[in-house]
Amino acid sequence: MRNKDILQEPVKHIQINGKLSVDELIQQFKNSGSFGAGRLSTACDIYERMVRDKECTIYLALAGAVVPAGMRSLIAKLIRERFIDVLVSTGANMVHDAIEAVGGHHYKGHWIVDDNMLYKQNIYRIYDIFVSEDDFLRLDHRLVDIYDEIAAEKAGKGISSSEFTFELGKRLNDPDSILRAAYESKVPIFLPALRDSEFGYAYWLHASKKDFKDALIVDAFKDVPEIIKMFKHSSRSGMVVIGGGVPRNTVQSAALATRKGMDYAVVITMDRPETGGLSGSTLEESVSWGKVKGGADKIMVIGDAMIVFPIMVASVIERVGAGFKRKPT
């Protein structure tokens, strides 16, 4: 390869001369093609391709407190319009969805605050969001009732985490709820670590009432064959990962189990690879496992998901048009 073969495409400098739409700015980022701007524009391109690919099953892996922080409606919308086909989440994100579904709220707060004072006021802090313990208690009450119902209906039969979220969604009458949108749209929500959230505490309340007899049983492994089956039956698969952790690993494990690998991959994270954790691992590393295909369209964007993800979605919605609907795969 010679010098002039490598130096082909000059950086075109970003121009902002007046009002720009989100995607017009992303096109500028594509022209410059450098650092985070280049990565973000590539992420938009890849997500656009996923969305336009009717044969592709799109997995959204969700970690970090983005639902209480303002992404609740957006994710519900993506589910309803089938911009994602499967959601794999931390328990906590769905807990916070449910808090709002039963009338609770998340409040703007601040990261510089006296946490002892908050503790005395029964206010929980999530960086710069405040949540009232009362809203958790209201949710606990509702969950205990729901668990009682499900336990009675299932009569000792274990359900999977996706059946669990389906049963929740069936009982939450809030159109803005992610759980509700998923229930109505038949989009499965997997919670591979659901005990690790208020869902676990509510279980304790529910089960201790009858001395842990006849309690709800969520079969920890039961969603494994469900997600593997979905992956196996798809022509192509793509993942959008917010933050890493168990959700990213769960989605990638399905790709590995079926020996098919992801065709598309977008990861938005602040983690870095050098300390060896899955969350910061590169998509090249994922290729060695077969979790992501060697020839996949793939990119990591290093940044705060609360900034990056909405920009990516806005850019792609602008490209495909507001009326665009994907069919269920």
* Residues of this chain, 62-81, that bind a copy of itself according to CB under 8 A: 63-66, 68-74, 77
Closest CA to 312 of 32, 44, 7, 21: 44
Of 163-202, binders to a copy of itself (CB under 8 A) are: 176, 192-197, 200-201
Beta strand pairing status for 123-126 and 129-132? antiparallel
| 144 touches a copy of itself by CB under 8 A | no
| 22 touches a copy of itself by CB under 8 A | yes
Distance CA 119, CA 212 (A): 31
List 260, 291, 293, 298, catalytic entry: 291
| 119 touches a copy of itself by CB under 8 A | yes
| 14 touches a copy of itself by CB under 8 A | yes
Q: Output the smallest distance, CB 46 to a copy of itself, in A.
A: 16
Evaluate whether 60 touches 87 at the Cβ level (below 8 Å).
Answer: yes
Residue 22 Cα distances to 72, 79, 85, 115, 301, angstroms: 20, 22, 24, 37, 17
Evaluate whether 170 touches 183 at the Cβ level (below 8 Å).
Answer: yes
Q: Output the smallest distance, CB 149 to a copy of itself, in A.
A: 16
Residue tagged 């969603």 (tokens):
223
The residue within the footprint of a copy of itself, chosen from 27, 184, 214, 302 (CB under 8 A), is: 302
In the shown chain, the binding pattern of residues 268 to 297 toward a copy of itself, with x for contact by CB under 8 A and - for none, equals: --xxxxxxxxxx-x--xx-xxxx---x---
The residue within the footprint of a copy of itself, chosen from 57, 89, 90, 237 (CB under 8 A), is: 90
Residue 59 Cα distances to 74, 188, 293, angstroms: 15, 10, 15
Amino acid at 89: S
Residue number, 55 or 321, with CB nearest to a copy of itself: 321
Distance CA 183, CA 170 (A): 6
Q: Output the smallest distance, CB 86 to a copy of itself, in A.
A: 15
Active site residue 291: yes
Q: Output the smallest distance, CB 138 to a copy of itself, in A.
A: 14
Closest CA to 148 of 133, 174, 167, 169: 167
Active-site positions? 291
